[in-house]
Structure 1
Amino acid sequence: AQAVCLKLKHVQTPLLRQCIFAMLWERNGSGAPGLSETAWLPTSVTLPSEGQKTLSNDHYFAVDVTHHDGSRWRVWRRYSDFDGLHRDVGRIVFNDAPFPCKTGLFGFFVRCEGAKLAKRRWHLELWLQHVLAHPFSHRGGRWHPRIRTFMEMGRRALAPTVPPQVDSTPPRASVGQISELSAVPEPFEHGSVSAAVDRPSDLEKPQDPLRAHSFPDAEMSASSTLSPEVVLDDWADLHMIDVVVPEGLAEGERFGLSINGKEVRMEVPQGTSGGSELRLWYDVQAGTLTPVNSSPRCLEWVQLEL
């Protein structure tokens, strides 16, 4: 034990020293004080929109971890911390959870804020959930010491909460009706264990796509056909909504819908026609609709399918 301690004194990198301690815990069959191996395995991990802060020009995201026994804690991590974890696990990517790239030229000159920041947080959360569910993150896996260090260092306990009761009836929307999009997030599953997350998501995923109606190119009159009205939470700056392109429309023609009382219009995307379903980003600040599959260029490379 003394020899190990002497060697650790010469390790200058704090993160490397933390990983060595984690590997020693694994070899000795023991974990962090008061934590069993079963208790460490998370049933959910989230990056809540309200859990953000900026210190010395560094933006921190809160990472909330929930366990099968209901205990919860929070750690604060910067984007660079996630990027380091991404590098340490071999820059692994997932088809449905790409790692968000840096903004601007090599991450310089352009600040990530507003809708871009919300999208980055959502992608980091989704990517981290996939990493934790990967077999390499389990006990004995090659990522386990690194993942455990990332999730534990600097942790602060949170009060355990009971997941809210959710109405299982999916919301529906039709012409002239108000659709309140469900704010129930998708739970992160680890093995056969799953737990609902007790927070609303800023990227709502409606169960039933909205039926949009085409607008004439000329100015709309009061007698124009009503489009479905969507009511969104005003605290979120980026939303995900599903719509159905009106029948009879072809590529390049315009259609729209009412979001929080504002008429938003867009063109039928390339390769899409009437009756097709679209999943769109709605940017509250810009007032625009963009297809979800319009990923940044740095994400348009061949991704590993696991």
Structure 2
Amino acid sequence: MGTSFARSFALLALLCLLLPCHGKGKLSTKFYAKSCPGVATIVRSVMAQALAKEPRMGASIIRLFFHDCFVNGCDASILLDDTATFTGEKNAGANANSVRGYEVIDAIKTQVEAACNGTVSCADIVALASRDAVNLVTRRPDVERAARPEGLAHGEPECRQRQPARSGLQRRVPRLSARDMTALSGAHTVGRARCLFFRGRIYGEPNINATFAAARSRRARRAAATATSRRSTTRRRTLRQRLLHEPGGAARLLHSDQELFNGGPADALVRKYSGNAGMFANDFAKAMVKMGGLMPAAGTPTEVRLNCRKVN
């Protein structure tokens, strides 16, 4: 399993190196080679410190990246704080008191600005941090990504319309296939989930393993909605394909994950991932690259923010 994962994530690095050069909205992993050559080292250092302090932060940064990209492309608009005249994505229903890791991105941005003022976009910092989160969580060769400018603002209505939740795979993010979404859901095998997001499943859905549901319901009953539970049935923090196919096929904490194995077209793919770590790692890597290439709509005003929480 280890060898196949290593080979697959090494393949991902090669795929990213083949991306076209930056210009006219295109991407390149070498974009900062001259303007800010130390950016990758800075991001890696801060991420390593963050995960050493709180291992869960790896999953949190990956989730932040997902939630940013799923709404009008990877433009770091999720980082924008609300103001008297602007209501952004950060406090929308799918993100408020749920998406986390903003302070880690702030810490990275502060160091990057000190080294290369006004050069590296917040969107690229999020992408690079997510790459390192995958690497640190899996302990495998890393995932390369850069570079894009940020959108100035995307408001809450778009976030509510485009955030994948209970709609399953039928309402996919544009340019991501059902296979991409299935592979990306493997990221749900790390981190924790708020009781608010799985109470409805453990109490009201018939297609859940009874023993698994009972164990989670005991915690949910005595916990506030903001409390969390491990997504995995084990204590391992590594991103693993095995948890896509739990015993009995119904031991998934989140409704969206159960949709992957619920008598639909994704069942066969989930079974393949369950028995083939290399296939899962390869597809996950490709899907991460594909998601990281989701761009804001043409004509969207952009800038390199000096502070990721506000426009310049």
TM-score, structure 1 length as denominator? Answer: 0.28
Look at both structures and tell me which one has the larger radius of gyration over its CA atoms: 1
Considering fraction of residues, name the structure with more helix.
2
Considering fraction of residues, name the structure with more strand.
1
